[in-house]
Structure 1
Amino acid sequence: MITRDTFSPFTPFISMDEGYRKRMAERYSRLTASQKPSIPLCLNCNQPSYLTHVCGKTGFYHNVQGNSRTVCGVPIDSEMRQVSGSQLVDLISKFRIKWEKSRVGKVLIDESSASLLQSFCQSIQWRPSVHGILYGTFRESEKIVEVHSIYEVEQICTGEGLKEELDSRISNVDNLAKLLGFQRVGVIIAHCSSPGQPTVLGEELLWAIQSQSRFGEDSVIVTLTPDADNESTHVEAWQASQQSVDLFRSQHLCRSEHPGCVHATTAVEIAESLEGKRKADSTSSSHEIDVAWLIAPIAVEAFRSPVLSNLFVRIHRLECQPPSVENLRVFMNDPKRRQLPFLEKVNDFHLLIYLMEQLLDATVDIPLLVHAIQTKDMESVEGIKLIIDSCCDIL
């Protein structure tokens, strides 16, 4: 007879019958790969969906497709058996477009990076548009974004709009930025804004929202646009609303046929005002959302990055030859920097990209070189210095 005292805290665990264990093992071995228990992986980021709610590649919520139903015109999770009145009100409010104040107070952008990008855009008459990724830091206490470097994304035309992942260098540049202590802090857009055309186009806003969804709510949008005479450039900073990010993550936002709008797959309630007033005079249901409702302005200032320079030739620019050994030789032998210590001369974001792509190993040499730059340890990179000096004819 089994009593309560039979299994005391000190009773050893009784293993199951060995024959039963073998039968279960044989049964498991006969299962096909699809029948065996497994953890589902996201097809885009190749990570278990339970680790993060948002896919690191697309910026969408994991497992959102085919997992919703509609109640009163609002999509909800199909696993919700009952929806209370307060829950329904909260769901409906997500589809009432509201303008939101920016969460970042100021953007500081490296003046040399912005100036060189502006000069290039002027040389091509601001056509086509130039898009770039901002790398820097975020000062949480002051709500300030510092942009230390800009990487200009290789322009590859597709019928689906701008896709940064088509640039084969993106992952290596991201890794280099992490080694330098930077993170993605937003995107930059440079294009000629025609009269009546918004500063940020709908397609560009979707790219910025995707970046904000993937890399954090502190991401910003910086725009460069010329004046009517093409003599001066307007530099402005913006931030997408958290509501727009939530709608994007749920896959409710996509490209619109109207340049100044984004398309909502579910009808949303949009406030209408006269003469740009903040207070709404009326509301209407629509699938087209004006970009102005989804972005808020931020103060922007120029500063000089104290961490590194950004003067070397860009790895890719439209109608420009990629940098060569000759560019490296000219850069290293420039009279202004020829007498500088080696680690100071190579402390340039775009030079490091070139070295990573053409001369050095991205997984071994570049981390070693960046660490030497940060610690001023010249002895560990004597071999790398010899390689670069031989290319530049420096003896």
Structure 2
Amino acid sequence: MVMIRVRSRDGVERLTIDNPNITIAELKTLIELQLHVPLSNQTISLQQNLLLAKTPADRSRFSDMANPDIQLSSLGIGHGSLIYLSYDGEREIVSAARRPSITPAGSFGKKMTMDDLIAKQMRVTRQEAPHSQLVSFDRDAANAFQSYVNETLAFAVKRGGFMYGTVSEDGKVEVDFIYEPPQMGEEEKLLLMRDSEEEKLVDAIATGLGMRKVGFIFTQAIGQDKKDYTMSYLEVAQAVELHAESGLKEWVTALVKLKVNDDGVADVHFEAFQMSDMCVRLFKEDWFDFERGKEGEEVDAKVSRMKKDVVVGGKDVREVDNDFFLVVVSIFDHQGPLSSTFPIENRNFPVTTKAVKTHLERTKSLPFVKRISDFHLLLTLARFLDINADIPALTQCVHSQTAVPEGYQLLIESIANAGV
């Protein structure tokens, strides 16, 4: 038995653990159980100055115990060690005598394992509110994405892309362009063949435009319309992986599908969600069992399977309805700063420099900065530019809508004429 001292604004309290080799994630679960501080509200550190931090931004600088997978012993934490805890709000201070026992009811003298303890704390409930106040789509960008799926692919297979834009301080997400990476879509599966070099160019362009990656958008095939789910377990798996990768709490997952209206006509329908905090936590801590459907196994696509029991509605279960992981986000639209008329990358036909020439000729009545204010055009040009000098300079002109230096105009025109 090991005793850890936990100092917070309430003073020093003692935490009892069985094994000094537990991870930080397991330690935080014990803090939630024994000290009544919700896991999502905890910041812990070995640095005393944590207690002086007043805001979430201040606390985020204390990252020495941020990795949930690190074992306490690797940080030199053992019997009698002192760690610091910061949290917002109020809590009930529970004396050591009144703290819940870690012996399960009906098994006197039998201690729970760490897995048992964590499973009892892993309660899956619906998250009432998203971190995003709303998501607003640039009309042209959203239309360019859905029209291709509707008119060219006929919603027969899945298609996906990354949404880029801005996030306001109050959680409003604005999507100003959609990047479609190389991919292979089937009726129920979508494989994103991500090109790291191309994504570096995309991120460099976005940074220069004052934007960042804010979400994932994908379509459901028309064959999925008869399935009894909002998102399949495969879609949940892909969506939560990308959400977790982003590190952005306001990250939005958008779903596009055909939906029959009251007149019997199929309309293109957009829905937006956030994967719940619990869903992201379960993914990061490797609770999901995504290895399903092998050797003819019957699979219920509307549920996600866990590797261990979780508590849903007071019951221990290993299958959770996918809807428990979805938090609805309101959808709006706007007219963003970019056009979406240039051919889009990674579709049926490669985009060449000839398309640049055609685009420039078609828009020659506009100021030059307006003519190049299209993400997909900028991505084509970026393949011929220096990522550290040219792309920031050019995107800054587009971002501020200021005149493009003559040297860059000549360079772009030469790129346009190169393939003629």
TM > 0.5 fold call: yes
Tell me the distance in 1 between the aligned counterparts of 2:198 and 2:121. 37
Partner of 2:153: 124
Q: Which moved more, 1:111-120 or 1:88-97?
A: 88-97
| CA distance 1:365–1:140, shift in 2 (3 Å) | same
Q: Report matched runs for 1:76-225 at 5 Å.
A: 85-86=99-100, 91-92=118-119, 94-101=121-128, 102-122=130-150, 123-141=152-170, 143-156=171-184, 162=191, 165-166=194-195, 168-192=197-221, 193-213=224-244, 214-225=246-257
Partner of 1:279: none
Give the Å deviation of 1:237.
0.7
Quick one: which amino acid aligns to residue 348 of structure 1?
A: D
Q: Could you list the per-position Cα deviations for residues 85-119 of structure 1 after superposition, in whole angstroms to 9, with x for gaps in the alignment?
A: 55969945641110102232211011111111111
Q: Which moved more, 1:225-234 or 1:364-373?
A: 225-234
Answer yes or no: is 1:388 the counterpart of 2:375.
no
Give the Å deviation of 1:332.
1.0
Partner of 2:307: 265
Quick one: which amino acid aligns to residue 113 of structure 1?
A: A
Quick one: which amino acid aligns to residue 131 of structure 1?
A: G
Aligned residues: 308
Quick one: which amino acid aligns to residue 191 of structure 1?
A: Q
Tell me the distance in 1 between the aligned counterparts of 2:78 and 2:308. 19
Kindly indicate whether the alpha-carbon contact (under 8 Å) linking 1:184 and 1:215 is maintained by their aligned counterparts in 2: no
Q: CA RMSD in A?
A: 3.3
Partner of 1:299: 330
Tell me the distance in 2 between the aligned counterparts of 1:286 and 1:166. 38
1:289 partner SS: strand
1:217 partner SS: coil
Q: State the percentage of identical aligned residues.
A: 22
Kindly indicate whether the alpha-carbon contact (under 8 Å) linking 2:279 and 2:325 is maintained by their aligned counterparts in 1: yes
Kindly indicate whether the alpha-carbon contact (under 8 Å) linking 2:165 and 2:174 is maintained by their aligned counterparts in 1: yes
Give the counterpart of 1:309 among 329, 336, 339: 339
Partner of 2:371: 345
Structure-2-length-normalised TM-score = 0.65
Tell me the distance in 2 between the aligned counterparts of 1:291 and 1:119. 28
Kindly indicate whether the alpha-carbon contact (under 8 Å) linking 2:230 and 2:323 is maintained by their aligned counterparts in 1: no
Give the counterpart of 1:285 among 313, 316, 328: 316
1:129 partner SS: coil
Q: Report matched runs for 1:350-369 at 5 Å.
A: 350-357=376-383, 359-369=384-394
Partner of 1:34: none
Q: Report matched runs for 1:216-235 at 5 Å.
A: 216-228=248-260, 231-235=266-270
Partner of 2:286: 251
Kindly indicate whether the alpha-carbon contact (under 8 Å) linking 1:346 and 1:352 is maintained by their aligned counterparts in 2: yes
Partner of 2:275: 240
Ranges in structure 2 where 5+ consecutive residues have no aligned partner: 1-62, 81-95, 103-115, 293-298
Kindly indicate whether the alpha-carbon contact (under 8 Å) linking 1:149 and 1:349 is maintained by their aligned counterparts in 2: yes
Tell me the distance in 2 between the aligned counterparts of 1:52 and 1:157. 40
Quick one: which amino acid aligns to residue 131 of structure 2?
A: R
Give the Å deviation of 1:362.
2.2
Give the Å deviation of 1:140.
2.3
Kindly indicate whether the alpha-carbon contact (under 8 Å) linking 2:208 and 2:399 is maintained by their aligned counterparts in 1: no
Partner of 1:58: none
Tell me the distance in 1 between the aligned counterparts of 2:69 and 2:206. 27
| CA distance 1:230–1:52, shift in 2 (3 Å) | farther
Kindly indicate whether the alpha-carbon contact (under 8 Å) linking 2:254 and 2:271 is maintained by their aligned counterparts in 1: yes
Kindly indicate whether the alpha-carbon contact (under 8 Å) linking 2:124 and 2:312 is maintained by their aligned counterparts in 1: yes
| CA distance 1:52–1:116, shift in 2 (3 Å) | farther
Answer yes or no: is 1:325 the counterpart of 2:353.
yes
| CA distance 1:350–1:270, shift in 2 (3 Å) | same
1:374 partner SS: helix
Give the Å deviation of 1:270.
2.1
Quick one: which amino acid aligns to residue 147 of structure 1?
A: V
| CA distance 1:315–1:87, shift in 2 (3 Å) | farther
Tell me the distance in 2 between the aligned counterparts of 1:230 and 1:81. 68
Q: Could you list the per-position Cα deviations for residues 262-317 of structure 1 after superposition, in whole angstroms to 9, with x for gaps in the alignment?
A: 2222211223xxxxxxxxxxx43222222111102121122111x22222111111
Partner of 1:276: none
Tell me the distance in 2 between the aligned counterparts of 1:230 and 1:117. 20
Tell me the distance in 1 between the aligned counterparts of 2:159 and 2:78. 45
2:330 partner SS: strand
Quick one: which amino acid aligns to residue 340 of structure 1?
A: L
